[in-house]
Amino acid sequence: MAVLCRERIKIRLEEIYRVESRRVLATLIRLLGDFDLAEEALHEAFAAALKQWPQEGIPDNPRAWLVSTGRFKGIDRLRSQTRQHALTEAVTPQLAVEDVDPVDWAEDRVEDDHLRLIFTCCHPALSADAQVALTLREVCGLTTEEIASAFLCSPTTLAQRIVRAKNKIRSAAIPYRIPGRRDFPERLEGVLRVIYLVFNEGYSATVGDTLTRPDLSGEAIRLGRLLNRLMPEPEVQGLLALMLLNESRRSARTDACGELVLLEDQDRSLWDKKLISEGTALVQTALHSRRFGPYTVQAAIAAVHAEATSFIETDWREIVGLYDALYQLTPSPVVALNRAVAIAMRDGPETGLQLVEQILASGQLDDYHLAHAARADLCRRLGKVEEARVSYRRALELARQEAEARFLLGRLLSLG
């Protein structure tokens, strides 16, 4: 019976870890003032819970218990490190148990801590790669190996990058706070970029045997909701709308065997109408502000797709117009590629193929598998079989996501 109880508690604790660990960590970083110390305290708190809860029962507020216990563990660790005696003397008074404020356990305070952590990880003093890596590690809880895979580098290199980022935060005394209005535009851009990249990795995984990672896209949406609740700026609304509208199609993007299903072949009855409604409303609010940016325009494109009752009825004229606006805001080759594909749907594959070939001729997307896949598809539609084969083979060489690779192989084989 005791073994059964312990096993049940272990399962419950694993669930709490998945849901609460990053928020507990965010509060511990605020209380202890150090990333590594807080992370050690977090793991010690969960170890203590596994030991104590089978005898004492699960507390009414598990998160508060874990934060309080982690705080004690952090203080004990500081006191035991005699070489850091001066630091202990300076920090211990502000960590004293009798100074604990019940507000620390309030939901809004914990959410605020999480947002503080995001802004700290995305400080402009850190490089863009360091911002993303540190956020994925500390905010989203990915392992070093998972992040290294996404960055196409070794776990050792990635770990060093994260350590340097933490040292930079410590040495530059980067404040653990949400910035004031004066610093807000510069800081917000980095936060939005990181949330966007986290969502993209969850919505269409860079590598691996599954097309999506719901844990990542779900975490990005949760962060987007939190940011929008506390700072309802137009581009925050636009990014949240973009994520919700894309997420609404998740269940239709793969078949029962996990194989990729293109937008034109998706069963639209599987699309989440509630997410579409919420995302569309956010897009309209952001557009009406007239202070929107690229995330809002991308969300508007997603909204046009979501509102079409079938692929044939998609308003490609409006989508091309939105891509024109997006290219004015962010003139990147990927935006140009997406615009070319939309033009192919509006004006025909021959016009689209000319644009795609111009982009590839510039060399900017030579290693981007989707550019070659787009050319292959347009060649296939025009009956240029051998050219389609060449492009499908090149796309297949570059694809690192197994579901996409299987799809491309299937298209290549279908050409005979």
CA distance 276 to 249: 9
Sign of the dihedral defined by the CA atoms of residues 348, 354, 360, 364, in that order: negative
Q: How far apart are CA 270 and CA 253, in angstroms?
A: 10
* C-alpha span between 416 and 409 (Å, rounded): 11
First to last CA, the chain: 63
Q: In this structure, what token pair is assigned to residue 230?
A: 């506390």
**65-94 pLDDT per residue, tens:** 999 999 999 988 888 765 555 554 544 444
By the 10 Å C-beta count (0-12 exposed, 13-18 middle, 19+ buried), 43 is classed as middle
pLDDT of residue 336: 97
Residue recorded with tokens 């995302």: 279
- Predicted confidence at residue 95, as pLDDT, reads 45
pLDDT in tens, 129-179: 888 888 888 887 777 877 776 666 788 888 898 999 999 998 888 888 777
Beta bridge partners of 254: 260
Q: Are 241 and 221 in contact (CB under 8 A)?
A: no
DSSP letter (8 states) at residue 261: -
48: closest CA among 19, 26, 74? Answer: 74
Residue 113 tokens read as: 């801590």
**Which residues does the chain have with pLDDT short of 50?**
1-2, 4, 88, 90-106, 108
Q: What is the pLDDT of residue 400?
A: 84
DSSP state at residue 136: I
Per-residue confidence (pLDDT) for residue 393, from 0 to 100: 97
**How far is CA 339 from its chain centroid?**
24
Q: How far apart (Å, rounded) are the C-alpha atoms in residues 150 and 159?
A: 13
Q: How far apart are CA 277 and CA 306, in angstroms?
A: 9
Q: Please indicate, yes or no, whether the overall pTM of this predicted structure exceeds 0.85.
A: no
Supply the pLDDT for residue 97: 40
Give me the pLDDT at residue 124, please: 85
Q: Rounded distance, CA 5 to CA 259, Å?
A: 40
